[in-house]
Amino acid sequence: MQNDRQIILELAKQYAEIAANPINVEREKLYRGINDLKMIRPVVLIDELPWSELNINDELTTRSTSPVAQNIEWFFRSIIYKWKHLQADMIVSPHFPVFKRILTTGNGFNRKEETLASDSGNSIVSHAFEDQFLDDSALEKFHKEIISYDEKSTLQEYEQVSDLIGDAVLVKIVGTHIGTGVWDDISVLRGVTNLLYDLIERPEFTHEMVRIMTEINRDKFRQYEELNLFEAGVNTVHCTPALSEKLPTSKPLGENVKLGDIWGRAVAQIFASVSPDMHDEFDIEYVKSLMEPFGLVYYGCCEPLDRKIDILEKIPNLRKISITPWADVDNAAEKIGRKYVLSSKPNPSSVAVSKLDEAAVRDELTKIISACQRNNCAVDIVLKDISSVGHNPENIFKWERIAMELVGAR
């Protein structure tokens, strides 16, 4: 245990120095500029990394022995590593987060899946899901979730972490932000093919399923709010900048964080191949009321949305739209203009090669930046969903350097 504490304290000191760097404050201004549609310059972030391919010089190798110490050590090592090698515009907060432990009874269903392919060194695997809704009567198994806060175990973790870190870094119990992906949830209960067929062949059944799951999510949001499980002032929402003058950075002691204080997020990734009209009917019509209580809303993930901006505009408090490599960024930027943030997702496959094609990366990023400049779009550029770097970490290091150069940060 004494050796664990020594390891943690050494890393905590490095972390504290990074968190105290004034550049973090400058980047907070960049984040707010993006989300308040007053962009200073594009923000670049990198997330969802294939850590198993990135451990150079044992910089990510944990050496502590207890599970609690190992978790703390990994947190510090991964942040220090990113700051050193692929910092981009990341912000490092001056605290170690202990997340509130949130329990749920579930909604009546658990996914039934088969792993089709996996890599022992990578958490990303290929799935096949069993359809649990071949019969309409299966809908009767749905029920609302009952959410609870396990304060006792949260406080126990807080004490354990505080004992190891001491006063080197502030330890803080924090809540969460929340999103909803009704169609993502449905896809893992059904698989893809039957789900898409049923949009045409069983529309009434499909509407009823979406309606039920929307109400389950609405009730879950209510419980999170009543139990004070949300966190105000988070730096990012699903890997993108989250700070905004419209949202509070904290709430007074004893006052719950409300839905109106945080970002809402909705996605329908499985609708990548669905028409705008069908996307509107089966998703946006439900998302509208679900997102209405939130302060700001971010829509989308990996689904191409450049041809669907007009239906997204129906969502209350919409502020940010995800534009993926499979979308036409010129078309998206023209339609988004000054109304929303264009959250661009460059193609992660560019770094999943033996040697980075720097010219191709430069061309892709230049096209994104130019499209947004022509249309006065506030834009963040987020490289994420990175399954591999071709076992060559230098690929992503070079990508970061090119991106930061192109946005004028270096």
Question: Would you tell me how many other CB atoms lie within 10 Å of the CB of residue 245?
Answer: 11
- Domains in the chain, please, with CATH? 2-406 (3.20.20.210)
| Three-point CA angle 334, 340, 346, nearest 5° | 70
In whole angstroms, what is the distance from residue 355 CA to residue 2 CA? Answer: 43
- pLDDT for position 117: 66
Q: What is the DSSP letter of 256?
A: P
Query: What would the mean pLDDT of 186-196 be, rounded to a whole number?
Result: 92
Q: At what angle do helices 151-165 and 67-85 cross, to 10 degrees?
A: 70
- The DSSP annotation for 9-59 comes to HHHHHHHHHHHT-THHHHHHHHHHHHHTT--SS-EEEE-S--GGGT--TTT
- The pLDDT of residue 203 is 97
Is the pLDDT at 166 greater than 70, yes or no?
yes
Distances (CA, A) of 390 to 78, 103, 399: 19, 38, 13
pLDDT score for 122: 66
The pLDDT of residue 237 is: 95
Task: Tell me if 386 sits within 8 A of 49, measured CB to CB.
Answer: yes
pLDDT value at residue 127: 76
The predicted pLDDT at position 118 comes to 64
| Angstrom distance (rounded) from CA 299 to CA 322 | 6
Distance CA 231, CA 245 (A): 16
> What pTM did the predictor assign?
0.94
Q: How many CB atoms lie within 10 A of CB 272?
A: 15
What pLDDT shows up at residue 95?
97
pLDDT value at 179 more than 90: no
For 178, phi and psi rounded to 5 degrees? -140, 145
Q: What does the alpha-carbon distance between residue 74 and residue 214 come to, in Å, rounded to a whole number?
A: 36
Query: Distance (Å, rounded) from C-alpha 267 to C-alpha 282?
Result: 12
Q: Among 106, 224, 245, 242, which residue's Cα sits nearest to residue 176?
A: 224
Quote the pLDDT of residue 99. Answer: 97
Q: How far is CA 239 from CA 70, 91, 242, 262, in A?
A: 24, 12, 9, 15
């191709």: which residue's tokens? 360
Vertex 296, ends 215 and 79: CA angle to 5°?
105
Write the CA distances from 369 to 79, 88, 363, integer angstroms: 27, 16, 10
Beta strands in 49-175 (DSSP E): 95-99, 102-104, 113-119, 122-129, 147-149, 170-174
Least trusted range by pLDDT, from 110-119, 165-174, 219-228, 356-365: 110-119
Q: What is the pLDDT of residues 9-19, one digit of tens each?
A: 999 999 999 99
Nearest to 319 by CA among 1, 112, 37, 103: 37
Rounded to the nearest integer, the mean pLDDT of the chain is 95
- Output the CA angle 214-204-271, nearest 5 degrees: 60
For 326-383, write each residue's pLDDT tens digit.
999 999 999 999 999 999 999 999 999 999 999 999 999 999 999 999 999 999 999 9
3-class state of residue 107 by DSSP = coil
Tell me the two tokens of residue 318: 């919409």
| Mean pLDDT within 80-102 | 98
Residue with tokens 């993006």: 34
Best CA proximity match to 366, nearest among 321, 322, 330: 330
Q: DSSP class of residue 176?
A: B
Helix H or strand E encompassing 243? none
Which band of pLDDT confidence, cut at 50, 70 and 90, is reported for residue 178?
Answer: confident
- Classify residue 117 as exposed, middle or buried by CB count within 10 Å of its CB (0-12, 13-18, 19+): exposed
The DSSP line for 264-326 is EEE--GGGGGS-HHHHIIIIIHHHHHHHTTSSEEEE-SSS--TT-HHHHTTSTTEEEEEE-TT
The residue-averaged pLDDT of 73-94 equals 98
What's the confidence (pLDDT) of residue 314? Answer: 98
DSSP tag of 197:
H
